[in-house]
Amino acid sequence: MKDHGSKHTQNHVRERNCRRGDAVWALWLRFSLRDYGFCMGTLFLFCLGSLVYQLNGGPPKVLLDIRQYLGQSTFADDHGPQTPQVLPFPSQVVYNRVGKCGSRTVVLLLRALAERHQFSLVSSDIHNKTRLTKHEQVDLMRNISSIPQPYLYTRHVHFLNFSRFRLEQPVYINIIRDPITRFLSNYFFRRFGDFRGEQNHLIRTPGMKDDERYLDINVCILENYPECSNPRLFYIVPYFCGQHPQCREPGPWALERAKQNVVENFLLVGVLEELEDVLLLLERLLPHYFSDVLSIYKSPAFWRMGNLTGTVKKHTPTPAALQALFQRMRFEYDFYNFVRQQFHLLKKKIGLRSAAKELATHNPLLDPEDADLN
């Protein structure tokens, strides 16, 4: 009887221990699954956050919020700032193109280059507003600065000083040409258009009367018509002088300020008479924009399109009229010769040799068969 009671007690203890072991096992299993799920969820969130971090070039906003909540001590504080997104330098370029200086040819090239090299090209359709109020300057510069980088912005506009308004100054490029040649191209283009269509001049100057449209160029010059006199002839220098009212007045002040801006703010100012050399220099200086530009420029497909930009019905004035123009445009020629000199110095510095002929810098004689690219 005693042995039976002892066995019963032992069985009871064994059953109780088994139940206790099952409970402990169940409890351990419960916590083990929960911990496993927590670890896997944490790992998933870490991987997702790391992916977002890398795709966006920085931490997601939620991590910044957590940093703000927990305090300012982060990995970056111990290891320095994160590496910024690498952009080509320069990644902000402005081409404030001078009218009738090959700009339509260059814009055609830029469209092909932007598609090939994937940079942002913004070409303004505003042609007749080169001088801006202070408010207009700020608005335009802010709009330019907001373009996704790398970008190239182009418009007929006088030089804009971004630094004056505490904005990052972009790199400027431009092209000019012999002042009298530019004037003649513009004179006949306004009246008769180009090879894209015999009637496109009527769209550009619908209010021009026949007496003005068919005015002989020699009469315009020798009889001092406004279109053939100052300040209308003072055209190229203001593009480099800037938006100051005095930049519009022919004289030494505007001339010297324009020269200073060329040296300090323009990566390159080329001359249209040596366009292939200009394109070659642009390819050297801005390869992420202009790589392969010469191959595009020399392609038959481009020339079929580019040849349509030549002005029609253009002819050369008499020697007396040319001499009168040259005297009135002495500041324009001073600036043009300065730019040519700087351009040739840059070619020499880079080691570029050219077969381009040296053009006259005094009393220019215009070649009636001179190519008109714009």
Tokens of 335: 């600036």
How many Cα atoms are found within 13 Å in the side-chain-facing hemisphere of 110? 23
* d(C-alpha 196, C-alpha 198), whole Å: 7
How many Cα atoms are found within 13 Å in the side-chain-facing hemisphere of 370? 23
* d(C-alpha 340, C-alpha 142), whole Å: 32
Residue matched to tokens 């952009």 = 87
* d(C-alpha 228, C-alpha 219), whole Å: 9
* d(C-alpha 103, C-alpha 106), whole Å: 5
* d(C-alpha 270, C-alpha 276), whole Å: 10
Tokens of 230: 């100052």
* d(C-alpha 255, C-alpha 237), whole Å: 6
Find the helix or strand (DSSP H, E) in which 122 lies: strand 120-123
Q: Estimate the share of the chain in helix, then strand, then coil, as percent rounded to the nearest 5.
A: 60, 5, 35
* d(C-alpha 333, C-alpha 226), whole Å: 20
* d(C-alpha 85, C-alpha 29), whole Å: 48
Active site (catalytic) residues: 156
- Cα torsion 257, 260, 261, 267 to 10°: value is 160
* d(C-alpha 284, C-alpha 228), whole Å: 39
DSSP 311: B
Contact 222, 211 (CB under 8 A): no
The alpha-helical segments, DSSP class H, found in 57-80 are 61-70, 75-79
* d(C-alpha 74, C-alpha 70), whole Å: 10
**By C-alpha distance, which of 102, 99, 98 is closest to 310?**
102
